[in-house]
Structure 1
């Protein structure tokens, strides 16, 4: 029960962050799952994010960038199969170094870059990279957050949530077909639903007050922290 309580606390905090800023769930939850309940990675994490992202996308559905989501999904579909191949072909240590290092470099580059409006190639590239990283490591938020970093806050949250929702379904199906997604060890997820709901409800008090400048800084800090965590895990 102590383990479940600690995991539930991390889920509550992560759900609050994801519902408020549109990112952060995997970064908070993956280390906790990895230490206390490794059987929940990556399948359990992806399953938990389905209702969370569905809710955020529905809550701010009027702000969704459907064109961007379409191209992200196209890249994500290809990236998911790439991620599965990477899981088999590349030693995990090398994979973590590659993904972590490239994420940090991309975040630092966008920190110095002027404001931009992403085009089709940027959306496809971010979807492709997300498909690889989330299927292989469970963390896929930085590319999507960075591509929308100059967009309105609601657009970032809703578009990233919808992109994640579609991509997570694809990743789960691919993992299941290839025998990397089973029901073993997923029982604790039922105990975590109340914590996720509590985090979502708590976000209602602040999600409309997020400052765009603060959100962009949060995006870049989130990306750098994600990259650092993956590097350390490597």
Structure 2
């Protein structure tokens, strides 16, 4: 790979290991934690290589928590996700590389604000559809689709959250892969980067099985969101700077 160095690959794997571990424990996190850091390591790692890694992780998650899955509750979010994918694909078709950096930073910060905004929407059909649209739109462009869908599951029990959100993320990730391919953001280079970084996801998922009942997720939440906010602000500043050059 000419565009990234061995150091970049190692840092990306460590970032994905941490993000996958968080998602294995809390039900989401690989996007919120990993995407902004990967962007700062190299923009080439997002969105497609990270989305492909998210597909792999959600397959493992569903296998682990399939007994808690309630597909009737997640079908509305999946329907909204299909619509969000169309919007995201159209956005990517008209974005320039400089514009991508700008919207990436904006959407990362939007995800952080949604996570800390204190919103507590009910888990119902309407909110599920809206969350599905927002989550898949954000997830396709930035690989950070967790915050909108997490809002409607914040009052539910752990196994249900992990199972239903994994089911949604799996379908939404396939939607996102289709949109990225159609818009030219998924090709041989992105597949190669995925092949070089998926070991981090495997390690993080394995580690989450050891820590799922020990890791203080709520205590780590401010740290995770703080990292995402700083990295998102840096991406936004980078996008604004490149627009001026």
TM-score (norm 2): 0.80
Q: Unmatched 5+ residue regions in structure 1?
A: none
Equivalent in the alignment of 2:47: 42
Structure 2 residue 161 is the aligned partner of structure 1 residue 147: no
Match of 2:184 in 1: 179
Quote the residue 1:64 is aligned against. Answer: 69
Q: Which moved more, 1:127-136 or 1:92-101?
A: 92-101
> Post-superposition shift, 1:122?
0.7
Could you tell which deviates more after superposition, 67-76 or 33-42? Answer: 33-42
* Partner in structure 2 of residue 206 of structure 1: 211
Given that residues 142 and 222 in structure 1 are in contact (C-alpha distance below 8 angstroms), is that contact kept between their aligned partners in structure 2? no
Aligned position for 2:240: none
Separation in structure 1 between the aligned mates of residue 193 and residue 202 of structure 2, nearest angstrom: 15
Structure 1 residues 118 and 138: CA distance shift in structure 2, 3 A: same
> How far apart are 1:187 and its partner, in Å?
1.9
Equivalent residue number for residue 135 of structure 1: 140
How far residue 140 of structure 1 moved from its aligned partner, in angstroms, is: 0.9
Question: Structure 1 residues 174 and 221, CA, compared in 2 at 3 Å: closer, same or farther?
Answer: same
Contact residue 145 and residue 219 of structure 1 kept, 8 A = no
User: Residue 68 of structure 1: CA displacement?
Assistant: 2.5
Deviations 1:10-57, CA, capped at 9 Å, x for gaps:
121111111111121123322343233432321111111111111111
Instruction: Give structure 2 stretches of 5+ with no counterpart.
Output: 1-5, 237-245
How far the C-alpha of 1:159 sits from its partner, in A, is 1.1
Alpha-carbon contact 2:33-2:224 (below 8 Å) kept: no
Task: Indicate conservation of the 8 Å contact 1:15/1:196, yes or no.
Answer: yes
How many correspondences in the alignment? 228
TM-score by length of structure 1 reads 0.83
